[in-house]
Structure 1
Amino acid sequence: MNIGKLYIISAPSGAGKTSLVKQLVADMDGLTVSISHTTRQMRPGEAHGQDYYFVSVADFQAMREKQAFLEHAQVFDNFYGTAQQTVEDNLNKGLDVILEIDWQGAEQIKKLLPESLSIFILPPSTEVLLQRLRNRGQDGEEIIARRMRDAVTEMSHYGEFDYLVVNDVFEQALNELKSIIVANRLTRQRQARKLQPLLDSLLA
């Protein structure tokens, strides 16, 4: 069976991670995003089971007690978690799976699944990050200021990741993400499984 690869993608709020991942999955075959569970309110344009599984705090805590999560964290006043079953099912199908989680979640996943690869997306500058947060038009200045403070904390953990991508020009950042995935699909371990009939015939 061609087991898929698990990718962790983290970024500070406003760095453009969600847009990049959405386009990445649209452009590449055999790649899926693991949908997280969250207790936060649904935002305009979001759909249950597509962006997140929106659950109550009680339901989330029940799942946590059953150890159903690979990782979970509290971000601001909300809880987020990655269900283990969802990830394992997709990997066993041979799909590459992306987890969009913060550095705390990435740390938990790396301990459980050391073979996973982690990518951190950086903004090109503090000024651009601030402007992107303001352009959303969703938050007041007080919340934006808190997001900026949290962004510095998040970015300080860049050294714990395998790859760094700067999202300045969207297409360039997207191509860099694609390059990481393509390169890892060409490793000897994955290719040997996929190309076994060819290898057998060439070496006969």
Structure 2
Amino acid sequence: SDIDRLSEFRLVRDLNLRGNKITEIDDYRLSIIFKLQHLTVLDRRKIDAAEKIESKQMFNPSSEYFASRDHMTNVVFSFLQDHRVQESTLPNIETPYPMLILSGPDGCGRIELAHRLVEEFSEFFGYGILHTAREKRPNEKDRTDYVFIKQEQYEEDVTKGEFLCCYEYYGDWNGLQRSSIENVAREGLACVIQIELEGLLSIKQSHFEPRCVLLLPMDQQIHKRRLQLQGYEEGEIAMALNRVELYAEYNRTHPGFFDAFILT
């Protein structure tokens, strides 16, 4: 569009489109501010910081924005339920419930590592299983790797306040239910969870203080082969490969977010 071509003129700071039909479009002003981020004045009105933030949240919201939104949804529905003392509530508030989160792109080995930790250190760890509304892959086991449920059941569980965190991953909804943590805590064990970055960001919004480990594949071809063996389709493989850089970039731009880093 003509507006997109204007983005090439980086020295333009003042733009006046008053009288142009484009101003009749919904959210016109925020759209222009987002597309032409070098502008300081639009239609003879100064662009303030609040408008810049609002335009970014509308047209290119961050992962943190979605995590905050989904966390607030779960908190609201949780408050509507009856409450009792949770198994994960420790007597000393200065000692948070122990939780280890493994995060990384599909095929990085996070679920395998989670199961291995639980198997080899069964006196310390229990597996905090995720619920998902997607279809089960051939190599996956229901109620061992994930709890597979229908979308309708997922939405019902959200309104019942069952979830600590929810996140959408390429059209499929996933999440960690509070009961998954409580079942592990009841055994006196620390909870190990494997989850995508979107889910991790949501958990970080909660009262839990997890230790977080980032897993990243070392070799793209080996990573691709792993995904093929696990039954991923070509489109899913492409998405997983692309997300390697997303995780690496997040780690670079958020130093200290992850407590450890493992190449797989």
Match of 1:46 in 2: 140
Contact 2:130 2:174 in 1 (8 A): yes
Structure 1 or 2: more helix by fraction: 1
Cα displacement string for residues 24-51 of structure 1 (whole angstroms, at most 9, x for unaligned residues): 2110023111111111112224333222
Unpaired segments of 5 or more residues in structure 2? 1-89
2:193 maps to 99
Are 2:259 and 1:162 aligned? Answer: yes
Question: TM-score, normalized by length of structure 1?
Answer: 0.72
Cα-Cα RMSD: 2.2
What is the 5 A alignment of 1:20-99? Answer: 20-28=113-121, 29-99=123-193
Largest Rg, 1 or 2: 2
- Deviations along 1:160-204, one digit per CA (max 9) or x if unpaired, are 32211122xxxxxxxxxxxxxxxxxxxxxxxxxxxxxxxxxxxxx
| Closer, same or farther: CA 138–90 of 1 in aligned 2, 3 Å | closer
Report how far residue 60 of structure 1 moved.
0.3
Task: Note the residue ranges of structure 1 that are not aligned, 5 or more in a row.
Answer: 168-204
* Structure-1 separation of matches of 2:234 and 2:210: 37
Q: Tell which deviates more after alignment, 45-54 or 23-32.
A: 45-54
Q: Which residue matches 1:118?
A: 212
SS of the equivalent of 1:100 reads: strand
Q: Partner amino acid for 1:86?
A: S
Distance in 2 between residues matched to 1:54 and 1:15, nearest whole Å: 21
State the shift of 1:102 in Å: 1.0
Q: How many residues end up aligned between the 2 structures?
A: 166
Q: Which residue of 2 aligns with 1:170?
A: none
Distance 1:43 1:120 in 2: 24
- Higher relative contact order, structure no. (Cα contacts within 8 Å, ≥ 6 residues apart): 1
CA contact (8 A) 2:137 2:231 kept: no
